[in-house]
Every structure is written in structure tokens, then in C-alpha cells.
Chains A and B, each alone.
Chain A
């Protein structure tokens, strides 16, 4: 079964074997507002934990999407370039950003579980 972990910066990472799907949470998309532009990395790029993996822009501002763990980009969701609003409509599903081949699975243990993330979001006003 797929396991999903969360960062304090509101990215999620869903582990599917040795691949991980990275996106932003529903809380994040609601805080951003209408997403109008997404910039995705090159396939094959290596990213370190906490590095910029993608950029998401709302009408008002640009924000970085950070890599929750280190890895190599194996796929990007190019469909977002034509329809960035998918990030708002289905952030956890078809609004994903990148797929990573995880280089150090031990980094996952520092991320929040779904329950921990829910508790974390509830502390934010």
C-alpha cells in the first residue's frame, strides 16, 4: 500500500515502491489560491532534500516546491503546464508535480505522517 509523508512546507511525498510522487497538499493549494503557472525540472535532475524541485505561481506570487527527500527526477507532470489549475482541483491526484527515485530512504523518517500533518495544519491559523 502506498504510504504518504508530509513536510512542514506543505509538500507531500507518496511512496510507490522505489519511486515517490511529490506534490503540494490541499492546505497549500488553498493558501496559494488560483495556480496560474507551474515550472517543472528537467527529467534526470538530481535534487537534494530541501532543494527547489519546482515552482508554483498564483496570481499574486511565486512559491518554491521543495524536494521532501533527495533523489533523481524520473518524471514530471507536463499536463500542468497547459492546465495549472489542476493543482487546485486535485492536488493529491492529477495535480502532482514530479516523481523522484529516492536516493536515501532514511530521509523519509524525518517527515510527518498524515495524522501528524493534520495536527500540524490545525495549529496554523
Chain B
């Protein structure tokens, strides 16, 4: 048994829910500079399955929340379009979108969610959620590149709670009824038992669910109210990772980074047609070339045929044993009941159904390229007409 390295807890940042995690018996680990719960006493398997069947509450307050504030939507959206390849001008009020900050070579600096304010009085405001480990460099990047008419406002005193799973909607509706009919990837400003909150119907699990942004001072009240529901259990970062892997979602720093483009990362869907055609974002030349001519490697889903998990860094070989890529995320998928992985392979071997071999501890284990997600997405697309 190898020892894990320990970092002194006192140097780590804490979210407003830290004391609650400790009281719940969580195992705390350093993550992106924060002391975060990796699991609660029931363990990752139970937490993962609970979230898929009921509702899980995740503390994601370590993530970076910020606003871009400009004179009108068009100005703010154009400023963001200069840094990321999605269509932000076309966002309707309350609509949310996934995108990536790109460097001048078209590599991914970070991925993020952005929402247009639902409030007409806040025309020109976009709300960002960025990765915890990237937030300082993201903010510096934005500060250096935004035009004078658009400013960055950090929302460092806001917590973020994710409520995910098929029972999330009925639980949240007990505290804020107007969230029940929200469609996937929309946001709403509302109240949770009287507390002002910004709610988005999105998440990182593949399930229906919400992310609730709230002032730090009220975060524990909301967590406490949600955890009183019998449908809700607290879920740590361990299950968050296995849930997102089964959902086929990228983890920054693992599945995407400055060396991967959105085309290689199979994120073309997140670059709307107008942007792909017009360009006007960092690295547009590379991305348009990759779209026209194809890529040398591509992110794919990989299903090992046996029971052994293939972890990040595992070499992927073709049927003849030639190395054609690397696993970037891999582990055990509790809902699949076996190993799942994603990684990059040469484009010629990226077709669904291709047989590959995973080099695990010196042995070649059979696997094949499969479509992602590994589990069906169960997003709420809106009230039926």
C-alpha cells in the first residue's frame, strides 16, 4: 500500500460549507488549493449511485464565479467572443452556454459556463463559472484582454451548490417553486426560502439538476435545508468525478488542456456555426483548418472489455500493438458496473467500434471505441407543450 502525500490543511482555503463537511464525517483532501470533501462515510460507490437514483448535493464553491459587465449585451458578448469560440451574441436572456477560453494557438486555457442575465435591467451582464484551478489565470487573461467598456467583477464571496439527480427538481421546488419548469441550460434569479439565489439548470453529472449560486453567508442555510430532504445526500468530489466520466464530460487539466483544441477534444458542438464560419477568436486559423481538413487525433470514449480499470496515462495501442494514443480519464463507472475511460487516439482509429488495446501494468487488455456518454443523459429540456 503506497502512502498518499499530505499537505498541511491550514494552508488550504475553505468554502463556507467546510465545517459542515467535517461534521458529516467527510474525508477532506486538497483540491485546487481548497480543503474539499472527496467522500463522506458511505463512500464513492454509494454516493454515485444515490445521485443517479435520487439527488446529491455537491459543494462546488471552489469554482470561480464572476460577471462580465458591459453597456449592453452586444458589447459584452462580442468581448467574450474575442476570447472563446461560442456564439454569445446570440444568447437569449436567461440562456446558458458551455465554452472554452483559447490561447492564440487554439489550445484550451480553461472551459467554462456562461449565462446571460435574465433581468432586462441587467442587459450587458454575463455570469461566468470557471474552474477552481484556473480561476486566477482566467481572470488575469480576461483583465488583460477585455476592452475598456467591459469589466470583470469577481464574485469571490458567493458559494456554489449543485443539486443533481432525478429527484433534484421536486426537492428544489419545495424551496423555490419557480425552478421546476426551467429548461436545461437556463438560469433564473429567484429566492430559496426567501434567500436571493441565482439558479441554473445544469451540472456535471449527466443528470437533471441545478447549480445554486448564493452569498457565502447563506450557503450553509441552503445546504442544511436541502440535506433535510430524505431524497438528498451529500456527495464528494470522488463521485463527482465518476459521474462526469460516465457522462462523457471533460475534466480540465486531464481531458483538455493548452495542447488540445476543441476540435480534437470532440467539442465542435460547443462552437456554433456562425463562429466556426466567421472565426474571430484566438486560434481560429487552426480550428478552421482542423474543421476543414480533419484532426490527427480525437477524444473518444473507450470501454475496456475486462474488469481492470485503465487509469489516466494508460497507453492505447491498435490491434497490431502500435501505440495510437493515451487515456486521459479512466476508472470504474459505478452505474456501468465496470471500467470506463476516455482518451485521445489517432483519427484513423477513432471510429466507434474500433478494437484497441490498453497497456495496463505491462499487459495488453482488449477494449473498444464507444460513443459517449456511457450513461444516457437525463437533462430536462423544458415543460412539454
Contact = CB atoms under 8 A, between A and B. Distances in A.
A94 B33 CA distance: 40
A59 interface: yes
A33 B44 CA distance: 7
Contacts, number: 58
B361 A36 contact: no
Contacts of B46: 34
B273 to A, nearest CB: 39
B1 A9 contact: yes
Interface residues of A, number: 26
A119 B3 CA distance: 17
Contacts of A58: 44
A55 B361 contact: yes
Contact of B1 (A33, A60, A65, A125): A65
Contact of B43 (A24, A33, A61): A33
A10 B238 CA distance: 22
A81 B311 contact: no
Interface in A20-46: 24, 28, 31-34, 36-37, 39
A59 B45 contact: yes
A55 B3 CA distance: 14
B309 interface: yes
Contacts of A11: 1
A66 interface: yes
B241 to A, nearest CB: 8
Interface string B315-337: 00000000000000001101000
Given A33-B238, A37-B309, A39-B308, A63 B1 contact: yes
Contacts of A3: none
Contacts of B307: 37, 81
Contacts of B217: none
Contact of B2 (A37, A59, A63): A63
A75 B362 CA distance: 22
Contacts of A114: none
Interface in B332-380: 332, 334, 339, 361
A10 B1 contact: yes
Interface string A82-110: 00000000000000000000000000000
Given A11-B1, A62-B311, A64-B2, A57 B332 contact: yes
Contacts of A55: 361
Contacts of B45: 34, 36, 59
A9 B3 contact: yes
A59 B242 contact: yes
Given A34-B44, A59-B44, A28 B1 contact: yes
Given A34-B44, A59-B44, A60-B331, 10 more contacts: A9-B1, A9-B3, A34-B46, A56-B1, A57-B308, A57-B332, A59-B45, A59-B334, A60-B38, A60-B241
The 4 closest A-B pairs by CB, nearest first: A36-B332, A34-B45, A10-B1, A59-B44
Interface of A: 9-11, 24, 28, 31-34, 36-37, 39, 55-66, 81, 125
11 contacts: A24-B1, A33-B39, A34-B44, A37-B309, A59-B45, A59-B334, A60-B44, A60-B238, A60-B331, A63-B2, A81-B307
